[in-house]
Structure 1
C-alpha cells in the first residue's frame, strides 16, 4: 500500500458523513443529562441587557484630548532631543 492510500482511508470524509447514526458530542450528552434532571428556565433568544449607566460626553472628550496632548508632547520631546 502506498502512503496516499493510507491517507485517503484514514481521512475518508464521505464515508464518515454517510453514517446512519451520528453520536452527539460529549458536551451535548452532558447538557442533555443535566437538563433531563433540571430543565433550564425559558429565556428569549437575545434578552435585553440591563440598564447601561449613562456616561457624559465630557469624560470621553477629556480622555481623548488628554491622549492627543500627551502624544504631541512626546513627539515634541523626541524631536527636541534629536536636534542636539
Structure 2
C-alpha cells in the first residue's frame, strides 16, 4: 500500500518544471491561424476603424413621455372603471 503512494507522487504534474521549459508549443488556435494565414495572409487593419455617417437618434425624452402617457392613460381608465362600477 505504501508503495502505491510513492508511485503516485512520481506522476504529479510539476508546474515549475512546465513553466521553465525552453520550448512551448503554441495553442491549437495559434496553429490554426498560422496555417490559414500562410495560404491567405490577412490585410492591414487600422488601429481605429473608419467612422461612418452618424444616424440621428430619437431623444430619450420622447420615449419617456410616451411611457408616462401610457401609464397616465391606464390610471385614468382604471379610475373611470372604478367610479362607474365597471369590472
Please identify the structure whose Cα radius of gyration is greater: 2
Q: Which one of the candidate residues 33, 36, 39 is aligned to 1:37?
A: 39
In structure 2, the residue matched to 1:18 is 20
What is the distance in 1 between the residues matched to 2:71 and 2:18?
A: 58
**Which has the higher relative contact order, 1 or 2, with Cα contacts under 8 A spaced 6 or more apart?**
2
RMSD, matched Cα: 3.1
**Structure 1 residue 71 displacement after superposition:** 5.8
**TM-score, length of structure 1 as denominator length:** 0.59
Question: Tell me, which stretches of 5 or more residues in structure 1 are unaligned?
Answer: 78-84
**TM-score, length of structure 2 as denominator length:** 0.58
Aligned length, in residue pairs: 70
Question: Tell me, which stretches of 5 or more residues in structure 2 are unaligned?
Answer: 79-87
With over 3 angstroms needed to count, the CA separation of the structure-2 counterparts of 1:15 and 1:61, relative to structure 1, is same
**Structure 1 residue 37 displacement after superposition:** 0.9
4+ residue segments displaced more than 6 Å: none
